[in-house]
């Protein structure tokens, strides 16, 4: 793959599964860095801070800084500052995203009547009160923004429900689609990644385990794409989709053995 300068990696299912490193992923990253390639790790998860991702990757012997990590919270805050700088928000999500939104200067709603925007992100403590609050806010005209559309998240034991569960619940009761989606495969994430790397899309390759997010985003952006089979997607899934990757790899190690550089 001549001319590739930037390697954009998904994390869950691509670099690791839960707390288990995908075999030789650390070697792949180290080799690419020594060859002068630019690296960006792109996740759709909002349940950890970027600093936590840095710590986790360093624990796997992958030397990164916070500038190597892009998650939906970063893109969300940039979008809110540009389009809804004075908005009052209701956040369905875990404590870290709420803290980061507060730190950025946004007000959190105390009641549906004062809510301008409902933010939906992955919340492992999602319950009826969250749904009812969001429903009442949307009935009163609140906009909706989702951090990511992922149905599930791969872990060591298989997979678990992700943000799509929260989105589906609200869409079902309101009868309305989410207004804005921030994470992969959104153009907002594409633009954020390209701006960080300061490269053209055709100079980058997107590597991930999901056809509907990682591969779709890369294809729509004009990047090369590489699907790894260590996460959600199987070979059988390739026969059921129009999002066909340029490369299909058993794991990220294939970047070296297939000479995807």
Q: Which backbone phi and psi does 7 adopt, to 5 degrees?
A: -115, 115
Residue ranges of the chain assigned to CATH 3.40.50.1000: 6-44+184-257, 83-181
pLDDT digits (tens, 9 = 90+) for 67-78: 999 999 999 999
Helices 72-83 and 95-103, packing angle to 10 deg: 40
| Whether residue 258 has pLDDT greater than 80 | no
CB-CB neighbours of 88 under 10 Å = 17
Alpha carbons 61 and 209: distance in angstroms, whole number: 21
1 band by pLDDT with thresholds 50, 70 and 90: low
- The CATH class of the 6-44+184-257 domain is alpha beta
Q: CA–CA separation, 95 vs 53, rounded Å?
A: 16
Quick check: 42 and 70 in contact, CB under 8 A? yes
The model's pLDDT over 125-144, given as tens digits with 9 standing for 90+, comes to: 999 999 999 999 999 999 99
Query: Under a CB-based contact definition with an 8 Å cutoff, are residues 62 and 179 in contact?
Result: no
Q: How confident is the model at residue 259 (pLDDT cuts 50, 70, 90)?
A: low
Q: Label residue 100 by pLDDT band (50, 70, 90).
A: very high
- Are the C-beta atoms of residues 146 and 181 closer than 8 Å to each other? yes
Per-residue pLDDT tens for 6-64? 999 999 999 999 899 999 999 999 999 999 999 999 999 999 999 999 999 999 999 99
Rg (CA), the chain: 18
Give the mean pLDDT of 98-127. Answer: 97
Check pLDDT > 70 for residue 179: yes
**Residue 154 predicted with pLDDT over 90:** no
Give CA–CA dist 138/120, Å, rounded.
12
CATH class belonging to 83-181: alpha beta
pLDDT at 16: 96
Query: For 204, which DSSP code?
Result: E
Residue 138 CB-half CA count within 13 A: 24
Give the residue-averaged pLDDT of 135-158: 93
């Amino acid at each position: 793959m001549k001319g590739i300068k930037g390697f954009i990696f998904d994390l869950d299912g691509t670099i690791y599964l839960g707390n288990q490193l995908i075999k030789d992923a650390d070697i792949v990253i180290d080799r690419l860095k020594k060859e002068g390639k630019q690296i960006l790790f792109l996740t759709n998860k909002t349940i950890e801070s970027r600093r936590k991702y840095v710590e986790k990757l360093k624990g796997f012997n992958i030397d990164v800084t916070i500038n190597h990590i892009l998650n939906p919270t970063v893109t969300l805050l940039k979008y809110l500052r540009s389009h809804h700088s004075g908005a009052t928000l209701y956040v369905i999500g875990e404590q870290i995203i709420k803290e980061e939104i507060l730190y950025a200067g946004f007000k959190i709603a105390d009641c549906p009547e004062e809510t301008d925007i409902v933010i939906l992100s992955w919340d492992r403590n999602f319950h009826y009160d969250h749904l009812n609050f969001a429903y009442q806010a949307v009935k009163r005209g609140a906009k909706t923004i989702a951090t990511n559309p992922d149905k599930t998240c791969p872990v060591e034991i298989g997979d678990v429900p992700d943000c799509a569960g929260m989105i589906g619940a609200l869409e079902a009761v309101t009868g309305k689609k989410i207004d804005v989606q921030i994470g992969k495969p959104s153009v907002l994430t594409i633009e954020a990644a390209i701006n960080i790397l300061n490269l053209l899309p055709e100079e980058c390759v997107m590597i991930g385990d999901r056809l509907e997010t990682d591969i779709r985003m890369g294809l729509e952006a004009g990047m090369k794409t590489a699907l790894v089979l260590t996460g959600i997607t199987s070979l059988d899934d390739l026969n059921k989709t129009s999002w066909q990757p340029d490369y299909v790899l058993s794991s990220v190690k294939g970047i070296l053995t297939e000479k995807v550089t």
